[in-house]
Structure 1
Amino acid sequence: MNVTFRQLKVFEAVARHLSYTRAASELYLTQPAVSMQIKQLEEVVGLPLFEQIGKRIFLTDAGSELHRYARNISQQLDEAREVLEEMKGIQRGRLNISVATTAIYFAPTLLGAFHKRYPGIGVSMDVANRETLLQQLENNEIDMAIMGQPPEELNMVADAFLYNPLVVIAPPDHPLARQKNIDPVRLADEVFVLREPGSGTRSAAEKFFSRRGVQLRTAMVMSSLEAIKQAVQASLGLAIVSTHTIKQELELGRLVVLDIKTLPIQRQWYLVHREDKRLSVVAQSFKDFMLAEASKLLS
């Protein structure tokens, strides 16, 4: 049944008022225009929708059934209009983001603050490794991603919103734990527990030490940061991690940060989205919030 919204809107007004004249006045149409819309609708339906008795019109059985559906459709359209207007005011909507595994240590704090400001917005957050993040961005599966090393090979927009210092951690009883101003070359004799190849943290660390003539010796490779921290506590090697991920271990005295020359490695956390992606009002508001508030909230 090829019925237009305009026909249903005119029909609903006539059915509600049981008057072509009052329906025309409400819709700012002429009475002949209203009559024409009803006639066309009856032709599409194949049944009469109104019957006239004397000077009054009444709904037929078919008209009564169609009026019920038309009323529901009208209500749903009104609700949709209200929702969209609320979204313009950032009252409702949904945000879909993915974060790098190391960002899980601070991302919930930022998302919590954003949700507190805009309580009507739902947030879906996925935690993934770099390869998965890039695939999600490429496939346009998410609004944006939080990651430490934005892709250079893809057409992406990357906005830095927070410093991400990388440091070398060790168990408290390590021989270098109490030494100051350690030359990076001294770490050539140490073994490291590293993230998997392709990790942004590992890539940044390898580049940093390579420029200083140090080839990192790998004792273990782990994809879980928690496992890496446990391995360092067990004296299985040193590790390079973001300072955002070790706050609790430092406070409890389970790990220490080695005092190494030219460290920490200064990196940034980035909000990344496709260059050709048209951000929703919610996504744009989250981006604005992160760029303005993230460093204050986590300082």
Structure 2
Amino acid sequence: MRNATIRQLQIFSVAASHLSFARAAEKLHLTHAAISLQIKQLEEVSGTLLFERIGKRVFLTEAGEILLGHTRQILQSLKEADEALLALKGLKGGRIAVAVASTAEYFAPGLLAEFRKTQADVRIRMLIDNRDTVNRLLAGNEVDLAIMGRPPAELDAVAVAFAPHPLVIIASTAHPLSRLPNVAVEDLADEMLIVRESGSGTRSAMEEFFLERSVKPRIGMEMGSNEAIKQAVVAGLGISFISQHTLGLELKAERLRILKVEGTPVMRRWHIVRHKSKHLTPALAAFWDFMVEVAPAQLRKLV
């Protein structure tokens, strides 16, 4: 492996993470042929196959699994060395990769903007996706930190709750339930619910809420974005269980209303999460402290 290049390891890491040469080409802005060539050369250097194709799917071989673990350690060590050298030179810069659960996309950019006011030289990469993908990015060391609801139980992680996260039930202002001073959970049993996809933290919280009250909700539509859900509720297609942090504009415009359902808002917590083995560079430590100390006040402005 002494003749392997850093570029080959970078390409291998991306291809192995996605189990797709096409996705790797897209992520790295290379051609499919270039990805295949680099992987082939790495296989020649290692003297073993790293991928195998079964039908239309690509899988890592046992050798590929072993090499992937070492590759991630190598790339992380290089990144940490870069950060340490910057700090040694007295530079304020650094790089941070943050995964954000999709519901947090309504406030995360604002928090990053506030952080950049005091750390203007830090470069930040933000990835937004659902809970399952954020968990995978953390586990694969593809990001440094994550902003999410419930931390992944299966990951050896450090998590700090930094702000309350209220979840509410909404309807259009024209919906009959929106005119009631109080709504019983049983009154929702016949309503059509528009919900997030399986794997979403909001979906899991909704299922727990109804299960605890022995009510079986009628799921009429499943959507992958909060924006689509809100527009569907405004159009009168149903009601929804959603984060209150996503509703600022629609509530001000009186297009949606939060129903006063017993047991709501369901209170969860927002967390900042990192892998337990993640080394905190100066830039990461500054961002971590910012999220714990400054972010709570920013989120209070949203509810």
What is the TM-score of this pair, normalised by structure 2?
A: 0.69
Written as runs of structure 1 = structure 2, the 5 A alignment for 1:222-233 is 222-233=223-234
SS for the counterpart of 2:98 is strand
Which is greater in Rg? 1
Letter in 1 for 2:210: F
- Which residue does 1:83 correspond to in 2? 86
Q: Which AA in structure 1 matches 2:156?
A: N
Identity %: 44
Q: Over residues 143-167 of structure 1, what are the superposed CA-to-partner deviations in whole Å (9 max), with x where a residue is unaligned? A: 1111112111121111111111000
2:262 maps to amino acid: K
Structure 1 segment 154-233 matched on structure 2, within 5 A: 154-233=155-234
Letter in 1 for 2:142: E
Paired with 1:244 and 1:226, the residues of 2 have a C-alpha distance of 12
Query: How far 1:83 sits from its partner (Å)?
Result: 3.0
Please tell me the residue identity of whatever aligns with 2:86.
V
Report the AA paired with residue 84 of structure 1. A
Instruction: State the Cα deviation string for residues 27-46 of structure 1 (Å, max 9, x = none).
Output: xxxxxxxxxxxxxxxxxxxx
Q: Once the two structures are superposed, what CA deviation does each residue of 1:157-184 show, in whole Å capped at 9, x if it has no partner?
A: 1111111100001000111101122111
Using the TM superposition, give the Cα deviation of residue 98 of structure 1 relative to its aligned residue in structure 2, in angstroms: 0.9
How many residue pairs align between the two structures?
A: 219
Measure, in 2, the Cα distance between the counterparts of 1:228 and 1:295.
Answer: 26
1:41 alignment partner in structure 2: none
1:196 shift after superposition: 0.5
CA deviation digits over 1:60-103, x for unaligned, max 9?
A: xxxxxxxxxxxxxxxxxxx999732356x7x1111110101111
Partner of 1:71: none
Could you say if the C-alpha distance between residues 279 and 82 of structure 1 is closer, same or farther in structure 2, counting changes exceeding 3 Å? closer
Q: State how far apart, in whole Å, the 2-side matches of 1:235 and 1:81 are.
A: 55
User: For structure 2, which runs of at least 5 residues remain unmatched after alignment?
Assistant: 1-81
Q: State the match for 1:280 in structure 2.
A: 281
Deviation per CA, 1:1-36: give whole Å up to 9, x if none.
xxxxxxxxxxxxxxxxxxxxxxxxxxxxxxxxxxxx
Match of 1:123 in 2: 124
2-side partners of 1:253 and 1:95: how far apart?
38
Determine the C-alpha separation between the residues in 2 that align with 1:86 and 1:287.
Answer: 22
Deviation, structure 1 residue 277: 1.4
Deviation of 1:189 after TM superposition, in Å, equals 1.2
8 A contact 1:185–1:213 mirrored in 2: no
**Could you say what the CA RMSD is over the residues aligned between the two structures, in angstroms?**
1.7
Alignment correspondent of 2:75 = none
Contact 1:168 1:240 in 2 (8 A): yes
Q: Name the CA distance, whole Å, in 2 between partners of 1:271 and 1:150.
A: 8
Tell me the amino acid that sits aligned with residue 166 of structure 1: L
Partner Cα distance (2:188, 2:159) in 1: 33
Q: Any conservation in 1 of the 2:83–2:281 contact (CA below 8 Å)?
A: no
* In 2: Cα distance, 1:81 partner to 1:279 partner: 10
SS at structure 2 position matched to 1:268:
strand
Task: Give TM-score, length-normalised by structure 1.
Answer: 0.70
For 1:291, the equivalent position in structure 2 comes to 292
